[in-house]
A and B are shown apart, each in its own frame.
Chain A
Amino acid sequence: MPTGSITPLVALLWVLNVVLDTGGQLAFKAAAGDPAAGDGLARWLYMARRPWIWLGIASYVIEFLIWIAFLSLLHLSEAILLGSINIVAIMVAGHFLFGEKLTRMRVAGILLVTLGVLIVGVGG
């Protein structure tokens, strides 16, 4: 069944995976980066009482099923490369939501990863 070709269904699953992965990671960062959380067990209990960690987990549960469907339709070696676009999405989102700086080197990295995903998507 894996054909290696990107059908509309494969493309839709790919977009959903990027959206859920980025949303989940941003929620985890909001949970983990909270300076008021403290340390050790108290940190985990603090995070559990706030919505962010649960929002992240919910995104990941849905992404879990989407990702399996995606992998069923593509070769794993191709799918894992296409999934690298998540790096770009997360860095751009981290810049806008958490003020993480996009230095020249980071922009170069983002462009190279995007180029690589394009080569795999168009040529693969």
Chain B
Amino acid sequence: MKRGWFYLIGFLILVMFDSVGAISFKYAGMHALPVEFNVAWLLRLFGKPWVYGAVIGYVGAFFTWMTLLKHAPIGPAFAASHLEVVSVMLLSIWLFNEPLRLPHVLGAIAIVAGIVCLGFAESREHVPEAGET
């Protein structure tokens, strides 16, 4: 049970860092347009504060992730961490006035259903990792 709370709170923190990261990434890209694969693009990118928000999201998610990964098998842990698609979708419709089109809604439903399946796959049976004793 103690481990259950550890995972729940850990994954919530992970989703929060991932959402902050994704939003910052989008702002960083928007403020560095047009996309060019040269030094000028990198200078535009790193000359604005947004990219550092993305770095904070990345670093925060990294340490949360490495702490969780010590015990969690990579597949299901990765799936649980990807519930951020929902939070990021809703935030981007609100923040960037993006259109919510039908294929996106249907695709998101299928993806979330798939993520839920992966979660169930893990709770129904503990699949020992290679090397786990």
The reply to whether B118 and A109 contact each other, CB–CB distance below 8 Å, is yes
The interface residues of chain A, by DSSP majority, are classed as helix
Q: How large is the interface on A (under 10, 10 to 19, 20 to 34, 35 or more residues)?
A: 35 or more
Number of interface residues of B (CB under 8 A): 65
The reply to whether B82 and A123 contact each other, CB–CB distance below 8 Å, is no
- Tell me whether A71 and B29 are in contact in the complex, defined as CB-CB below 8 angstroms, given that A81-B89, A84-B85 are known contacts: yes
- Tell me whether A25 and B78 are in contact in the complex, defined as CB-CB below 8 angstroms, given that A33-B129, A68-B25, A98-B130 are known contacts: yes
**Which of chain A's residues have a CB closer than 8 A to the CB of B85?**
80-81, 83-84
Closest to B113 in A: A112
A3 sits at the interface (CB 8 A):
no
The CA of A101 and the CA of B98, in the complex, are separated in Å by 39
- Tell me whether A109 and B115 are in contact in the complex, defined as CB-CB below 8 angstroms, given that A68-B25, A99-B129 are known contacts: yes
- Central interface residue in B28, B98, B110, by most chain A CB within 10 Å: B110
The CA of A94 and the CA of B86, in the complex, are separated in Å by 24
**Which of chain B's residues have a CB closer than 8 A to the CB of A35?**
131, 133
The reply to whether A91 and B58 contact each other, CB–CB distance below 8 Å, is no
A90 sits at the interface (CB 8 A):
yes
The reply to whether B32 and A68 contact each other, CB–CB distance below 8 Å, is yes
The CA of A42 and the CA of B35, in the complex, are separated in Å by 42
**Given A33, A77, A108, A116, which contacts B109 in the complex, CB threshold below 8 Å?**
A116
The reply to whether B115 and A76 contact each other, CB–CB distance below 8 Å, is no
**Which of chain A's residues have a CB closer than 8 A to the CB of B116?**
109
**Which of chain B's residues have a CB closer than 8 A to the CB of A123?**
101-103, 106-107
Smallest distance from the beta carbon of A16 to chain B beta carbons, Å?
12
On B, residues with C-beta under 8 Å from A are: 22-23, 25-26, 28-30, 32-35, 37, 42, 45, 51, 54, 58, 62, 65-66, 69-70, 73-76, 78-79, 82, 84-85, 88-89, 92-93, 96, 98-104, 106-118, 120-121, 124-125, 127, 129-131, 133
On A, residues with C-beta under 8 Å from B are: 1, 25-26, 28-29, 32-33, 35, 60, 64-65, 67-69, 71-73, 75-78, 80-81, 83-84, 86-87, 90-91, 94-95, 98-101, 103, 105-106, 108-120, 122-124
**Closest CB pairs A-B (n = 10):** A123-B103, A112-B114, A116-B110, A72-B29, A105-B121, A109-B117, A116-B111, A113-B114, A120-B107, A109-B118
